[in-house]
């Protein structure tokens, strides 16, 4: 299998059609921990962070990094640099797991998307490494400390492999009951339309990188919502939206231009799905998507279905560990892209 299509971002629409006020906008901001396998644009995680940074409905308590798209060290270096560019170094960054719980590098893993298995030192981000380093506390300790200090109030937005979340759950008794919500970009559901995987026939990348962690996190009983490939396949970031974003000329949109101009000059039809951006957007405005309540479990057995998500409207024999959660399967793309572009272009 060759490289998976560029995993980027988003955005969208006619700026005159500014997004309607999000449901809940008048209420207190969601306190979130942003857990990410970050890489500088055009990676989707970076566009998801831009959206979060520009959304007053979200209060980012901290960012935790994990191996996925690249190593944890690369994720950390890149996110620190993007925060520096955005002048948001007030947000602390915590280093998390550098490898999945059990899943090891294989010839297959090295030949498909992602360098989660890499121990290479991170390359310098554009403009060089950020001045401010990561915090000394680990991602897992930060998650535990923050959730315990704010019981029932913290939402974890997990847009990479679920290794950090699983490790925190394993470390701290009763933690799951104190987490308000788990927002996950991940999975692909054969029981819903458009449910093929993107790394194996049925597995989605984030879940496949750490199936054991995903199983722990999704079985924990935390109120959860999933943004799987079924719904992200109905999104596409293209030159139309890129042009609107770079026209804004902010420090972040200039970074986008620097990183993406050559790609769109070479191929004006280039584009890609908006995975992590959609997960963040639907926390801000759940009415962007249509969801089904499914009982969900993860196949963590080594074999052809390793790392697949399975979802059923009812429990099934063999799936007794499955927990019921909200699984997105359709999106109002014009409204989503308009919201995304309007926010990412904010000064
Ligand atoms: C997911 O995998 C990662 O490469 C992306 O950042 C996204 O979180 C999509 O399968
Ligand atoms: Ca990601």
Percent of the chain residues past pLDDT 70, beyond the cut: 93
Q: Which domain CATH number covers 112?
A: 3.90.245.10
Distance 158 CA to ligand 2 centre (A): 8
For 36-62, give the DSSP string: E---STTBHHHHHHHHHHT-TTEEEEE
Phi, psi torsion values for 324, nearest 5 degrees: -80, 135
Average of per-residue pLDDT across 228-246: 98
The closest-lying atom of ligand 1 relative to the alpha carbon of residue 276 is 8
Confidence of residue 228 (pLDDT cuts 50, 70, 90): very high
CB of 328 sitting under 6 A from ligand 1: no
The reply to whether 1 falls in a domain is no
The predicted structure's pLDDT at residue 75: 98
Cβ atoms of residues 35 and 7 within 8 Å:
no
The predicted structure's pLDDT at residue 271: 95
Confidence of residue 262 (pLDDT cuts 50, 70, 90): very high
Q: pLDDT tens-digit profile of 55-79? A: 999 999 999 999 999 999 999 999 9
E-assigned strands of the chain?
30-36, 58-65, 93-95, 154-158, 179-185, 224-227, 237-238, 271-272, 289-299, 308-312, 323-331
The reply to whether 285 falls in a domain is yes
Quick check: is 37 catalytic? yes
Q: What angle do CA 261, 262, 266 make, to 5 degrees?
A: 120
pLDDT > 70? residue 302: yes
Cβ atoms of residues 134 and 93 within 8 Å:
yes
The reply to whether 324 falls in a domain is yes
CB of 9 sitting under 6 A from ligand 1: no
Could you tell me the two tokens for 196?
A: 């093929």
Sign of the CA dihedral 60, 336, 293, 101? Answer: negative
Confidence of residue 18 (pLDDT cuts 50, 70, 90): very low
Look up the domain containing 123 and give its range.
Answer: 16-20+30-344
Confidence of residue 145 (pLDDT cuts 50, 70, 90): very high
The reply to whether 297 falls in a domain is yes
CB of 35 sitting under 6 A from ligand 1: no
Average confidence score pLDDT of the chain: 93
Distance 276 CA to ligand 2 centre (A): 6
Distance 99 CA to ligand 1 centre (A): 16
pLDDT > 70? residue 4: no
Percent of the chain residues past pLDDT 90, beyond the cut: 92
Among the listed residues 95, 94, 82, 112, the one whose alpha carbon sits nearest the alpha carbon of residue 9? 82
**Active-site residue identified among 35, 37, 70, 78:** 37
For 156, residues 6+ apart whose C-beta sits below 8 A from its C-beta are 32, 33, 35, 143, 165, 179, 181, 182, 183
| Number of domains present in the structure of the chain | 1
Residue 200 CA: distances (Å) to CA of 295, 304, 309: 22, 8, 12
The predicted structure's pLDDT at residue 16: 30
The reply to whether 63 falls in a domain is yes
Confidence of residue 8 (pLDDT cuts 50, 70, 90): very low
Q: For residues 126 and 258, give the distance between their C-alpha atoms in angstroms, rounded to a whole number.
A: 9
Average of per-residue pLDDT across 125-143: 98
Confidence of residue 26 (pLDDT cuts 50, 70, 90): low
Cβ atoms within 10 A of the Cβ of 304, count? 11
Residue 208 CA: distances (Å) to CA of 76, 202, 214, 238: 21, 10, 9, 27
Query: Measured in whole angstroms, how far is the alpha carbon of residue 125 from the centre of its chain?
Result: 20
Confidence of residue 27 (pLDDT cuts 50, 70, 90): confident
The β-bridge relationship of strands 154-158 and 30-36 is: parallel
The reply to whether 25 falls in a domain is no
pLDDT > 90? residue 20: no
Q: pLDDT tens-digit profile of 81-111? A: 999 999 999 999 999 999 999 999 999 999 9
Cβ atoms of residues 155 and 32 within 8 Å:
yes
Among the listed residues 336, 276, 236, 331, the one whose alpha carbon sits nearest the alpha carbon of residue 50? 276
The reply to whether 123 falls in a domain is yes
For 250, residues 6+ apart whose C-beta sits below 8 A from its C-beta are 345, 346, 347
Give the predicted TM-score (pTM) of the model. 0.92
Cβ atoms of residues 151 and 178 within 8 Å:
yes
The reply to whether 235 falls in a domain is yes
Helices (H) and strands (E) in the chain, counts: 13, 11
pLDDT > 80? residue 336: yes
Distance 118 CA to ligand 2 centre (A): 16
CB of 45 sitting under 6 A from ligand 1: yes
């Amino acid at each position: 299998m060759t490289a998976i299509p560029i995993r980027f971002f988003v955005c969208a629409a006619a700026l005159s059609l500014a997004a309607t006020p999000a449901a809940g906008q008048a209420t207190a901001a969601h306190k979130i921990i942003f857990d990410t396998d970050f890489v500088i644009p055009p990676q989707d995680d970076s566009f998801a962070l831009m959206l979060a940074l520009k959304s007053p409905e979200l209060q980012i308590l901290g960012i935790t990094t994990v191996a996925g798209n690249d190593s944890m060290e690369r994720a950390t270096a890149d996110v620190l640099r993007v925060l520096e560019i955005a002048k948001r170094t007030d947000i602390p960054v915590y280093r998390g797991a550098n490898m999945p719980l059990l899943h090891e590098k294989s010839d297959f893993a090295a030949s498909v998307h992602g360098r989660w298995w890499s121990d290479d030192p991170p390359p310098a981000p554009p403009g060089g490494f950020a001045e401010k380093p990561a915090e000394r506390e680990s991602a897992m300790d930060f998650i535990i400390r923050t959730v315990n200090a704010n019981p029932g109030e913290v939402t974890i937005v997990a847009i990479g492999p679920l290794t950090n979340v699983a490790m925190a759950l394993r470390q701290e008794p009763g933690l799951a009951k104190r987490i308000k919500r788990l927002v996950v970009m991940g999975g692909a559901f054969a029981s819903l339309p458009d449910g093929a995987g993107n790394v194996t026939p049925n597995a989605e990348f984030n879940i496949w990188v750490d199936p054991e962690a995903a199983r722990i996190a999704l079985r924990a009983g935390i109120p959860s919502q999933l943004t799987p490939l079924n719904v992200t396949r109905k999104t596409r970031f293209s030159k139309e939206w890129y042009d609107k974003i770079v026209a804004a000329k902010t420090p972040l949109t200039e970074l986008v231009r620097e990183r993406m101009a050559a790609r769109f000059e070479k191929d004006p039809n280039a584009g890609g799905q908006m995975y992590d951006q959609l997960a963040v957007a639907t926390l801000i405005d759940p009415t962007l998507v249509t969801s089904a309540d499914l009982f969900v479990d993860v196949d963590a057995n080594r074999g052809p279905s390793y790392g697949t998500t399975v979802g059923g409207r009812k429990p099934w024999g063999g799936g007794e560990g499955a927990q019921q959660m909200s699984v997105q399967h359709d999106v109002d793309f014009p409204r989503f892209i308009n919201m995304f572009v309007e926010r990412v272009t904010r000064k």
